[in-house]
Structures are given as C-alpha cells and as structure tokens.
Amino acid sequence: MNRRGEMTTQQIILLIILIASFIIILFFLFRLNLNSESEDEVCHNSVVMRGSSVIPSGSVPLKCSREYICITQDGSCEELTNPVVKKVKTSDEVYEILANEMSDCWWMFGEGKVDYIGKDFFLKDNYCSICSQVLFDNSLSEIEDFSEGQISKDVLYNYLSANKHSEEKTYAEYLFRTNNLDELKQELSKNQSADVSFGTIDIGKQYYVVMGITSEVTGRGWKIAVGGAVAVAGLFIPGIGWTISGAIIGAVIVGAGEYGALQNPEIAAIPVEGDGVKNTFMAPTIVEVNSEKFKVLNCYDVNTLS
C-alpha cells in the first residue's frame, strides 16, 4: 500500500511538472507573438511567389495585411480599436519598436530583391505597401526626450545607424545600404539652400510605416515638391545613373500645380536601387496617415489590406 501511495505521489508530482511546463511554454509562445510572425511570413511568401511567377503578377494575390499598433507609456490607446499595445518606458524602447517595424516591412516585401509588380504597360508609377499603422499615444509626452510632443526622426535614424539588425549589419545598412547618414543626407539634400532633416513625428497622431516599388517600365520614382517646382526622385540619366536618392518635401500642395513656400524641408523617402531586379524601391519610411506628405509620395496603389 505504501508503495502504491509513493507511486501515486510521484505521478501527481510529474503531472504538476508537466502542467507547469506547458503553462511556461504557452507564456513564451504568447510573448513571442507567433501569430503576428506567421502573418509576416504569409505576406513574405506571397511576395516571393508573385515575383517568381511566370503568369501575370496580378494573377497571384498578395496576402499582406496592415497591422495596427499603439505605442504607449501608460497603456491607454483610445484612438485605435483593438491594436497591438506596446508599452514603453524610455525613448530607446520607442526607437527599437520603430526600427523593428521598418525592418520587418522591408523583409516582408523582399528586401529590394523581388519584382512583385512586373511590367506595367499602362505607365503607372509607384506602388506602396502600408505594413503597419502606428498610434503614438499622448502618454509618450511623459518621456523626457519627448516632452515637447515630438519624436525626432533624425535621432531615430541615428539609432538605426548605431544599433545592429543582425551580426553583419546595422538597421541603416539593412534598410538603406549605408551606415553613413551624414553622407546620405548630403546626397539627398543636394542643391538645396535650406537645411534638411528627416523630419519629426507628432505625438498623439497616427503614422504609416510604408514602403514602395516603382514599375519596371516607368522607373520614374517618387515626386519631390520643393518650393514652386516638381522634380522626380531616382531620375535616371544615361552615363550618370541614379543621381537623386530621396524625396524632399518642402511644401504641401495647395492647388493644381501650385506649391507653398519652402519651409522646414524634410527627407520623406529614400529610394534604393533594386538588387537583381530593375525596379527602384522606397525604403520603409514613417509618414503621417492621410497627410499631404503621404500624398506627395505619389502612391498609385496600396498593396496591403486595411
């Protein structure tokens, strides 16, 4: 009888250990957010399949959905319905979230190595993909670095150049193929008399993490609005190459063909030449939802589901 009791006790202890182990595994699975990762993989796989398909690209659907995220200091996120809530305590935690959102977006859509649009004989220009829509909750103003109600993209981009995406590359090298942001900014702001920046993010507002691809046929790139003129980013000049690497927004459109005065010009997008494909890509950027700055990116179509 005692032996039977001892065996029963051992079985109970083993059962408790198994249940506890199962709970711990479930906890880590939820912490890893594997459901979100699987959606990213579904999107990435559909992009690769479309890029490698021998039939017209439009016949292979992209299975990519926009993720809704709230970055908050106190957990309050009233402006979005059921978002993925990411609580932070420091500015670096905010930069890390944004760096990962940008790099995830770049990976999902092929890292500039996949032509998932194909030949566009109707001369349509730029196709954009909104990977995530981010609410910067008002409580972020409680963080000392954001006390003035803004997040500097220049500081964010410095974070991208100073922190590793992998053992081989920083976030900046992965996204923009360079870690020299000063040189990149000089190239992007070439021939501009005013000082340019990567802009700011206003706390309390919603922003897209968006990237894009140009049609292989047109290769026109993203429009630039500078003062009273319009140029084209990524303009190809024979014998010189891609002479403009980014889009600079100096004003908002106030009427057909009319632009306001150049004030606080921003580098709105960084086009990246395709790797093994003829397309030009817009590296992931952060731009306010449905703003004039988003419109200036000249997205013909958006390839992600809302």
Average pLDDT for runs of 10 along the chain of length 306: 59 81 64 60 88 66 90 89 93 97 95 82 73 96 95 96 93 94 80 75 96 70 36 31 33 28 70 87 93 84 73
CA atoms within 13 A on the CB side of 52: 8
Rounded to whole angstroms, the Cα distance separating 133 from 41 reads 19
Rounded to whole angstroms, the Cα distance separating 43 from 182 reads 33
Burial of 233 by CB count in 10 Å (0-12 exposed, 13-18 middle, 19+ buried)?
Answer: buried
What are 131's two structure tokens?
């990977």
Helix and strand totals (H; E) in the chain:
7, 17
User: Residue 113: its pLDDT value, please?
Assistant: 93
User: Residue 194: its pLDDT value, please?
Assistant: 61
A 10 A CB-CB count for 151 gives 24
- Backbone angle region of 3, left / alpha / beta, with phi > 0 → left and psi within -120 to 50 → alpha: alpha
Rounded to whole angstroms, the Cα distance separating 20 from 7 reads 20
